[in-house]
Amino acid sequence: MILLSMELTIGSKTLATAFFVSEVQGCYNLILGRDWIHANRCVPSSLHQFLIQWVGDNVEVVHADSSAYVYTTDAPSLGGHDGIACLSERDLSDF
């Protein structure tokens, strides 16, 4: 594992950030830790694939890379859990 310090630009903010770099297979290019998120007054949403951050008195929404993959599953692939249904693409307005 390597510790790397560099400037990270997200939206209009550029901040000095420390990274731990490791050679592993994963679904993410970058994981921002809780300390970074709180220190930079951000609200991430992995569900909606964006990050909300405050820049002065303004709110900025930074959308995730559109080339990222989003995986869904159907209930049969959950294996042995009767009565469970996948919520993807369902109308939940009555709940």
DSSP of 25-54:
--S-S----HHHHHHTTEEEETTTTEEEEE
What 3-state class would DSSP assign to 12? coil
Beginning with the edge strand found earlier in the chain, give each strand of the sheet holding 42-45 in spatial order.
42-45, 50-55, 58-63
pTM of structure:
0.53
Residue 71 lies in a domain: no
Residue 73 lies in a domain: no
Residue 80 lies in a domain: no
Residue 75 lies in a domain: no
Q: pLDDT band for position 63 (50/70/90)?
A: confident
Number of domains in the chain: 1
Q: pLDDT band for position 60 (50/70/90)?
A: very high
Output DSSP code: residue 76.
Answer: G
**What is the domain range of residue 57?**
2-65
pLDDT digits over 1-45, tens only?
788 888 888 888 888 888 888 887 776 677 788 888 888 888 988
Neighbours of 51 (CB within 10 A): 20
Residue 89 lies in a domain: no
